[in-house]
Amino acid sequence: MNLFICLLLYWSPSLSFDYKKHELPYSIVISKADLIVDGNISKVSKNEYEFTVSQFVKGKSKAKINVSIWKEWLCDPRNAELKKGQRLILFLEKTANGNFTTINDSTGELYIDNDTFLNIFLPKDFSNPTVLKKGISMFLQTYSCHGDLNDRFLQNIYFQSNKSIFEIYKMKEGNTFFKFLVDNDLLYANIQYTPINQFNN
């Protein structure tokens, strides 16, 4: 028996029990979202929390909405406790019962404290909520996403830009989050740009 335990301990580092969360690029999260909002938790119950919206970044709803609480697991823990007064930026999809759920669990639930994001694993381009929200607005004004956004492998999805490559280059200089989306999320995406000569007509 002791030999078996020793062998198990010896071999366990080489056994792979790796589970990894399926990450969605924020370009897809933004495109999928029915609602992107900034606000605070006003009440927490067992399966959902009431959220009071202070700013709509994408979409419109009532000022108070109910958001389903997603289940944590090893590869996707919460960054902080859900409690009254906690400020969040949420990327939400509407459910059949009229409530909302965050997109890709923790990806769609960004915790904020003193105008700083609590998730230390977010890229540095998520510098603060103001920059993030402005970058989202710039992205939505520039790109539209087409194809099946619920396809796990994101096949046959493409982005249509209503601006030229040169305009987008200039826009990137003004916002780090927009630059992150264009330079990282859209780096290998299929993008159809507006022809330059269209602006000369």
pLDDT per residue as tens, the chain (201 positions): 554 444 444 444 444 444 566 688 999 999 999 999 999 999 999 999 999 999 999 999 999 999 999 988 778 788 788 999 999 999 999 999 989 999 998 899 999 999 999 887 788 888 899 999 999 999 999 999 999 988 888 888 999 999 999 999 999 999 999 999 999 989 778 888 877 555 444
Q: Which amino acid is at 35?
A: L
Decide the pairing of beta strands 143-146 and 116-117.
Answer: unpaired
For the chain, the first-to-last Cα distance in angstroms comes to 83
Q: Which amino acid is at 36?
A: I
Rounded to 10°, the helix 129-142/165-172 angle is 170
CB atoms within 10 A of CB 103: 24
Bridge partner list, 87: 40, 112
User: pLDDT at position 76, please?
Assistant: 75
Report the top-level CATH class of 26-200. Answer: mainly beta
- pTM, whole model, 2 decimals? 0.84
Q: Is 64 helix (H, G, I), strand (E, B) or coil?
A: strand
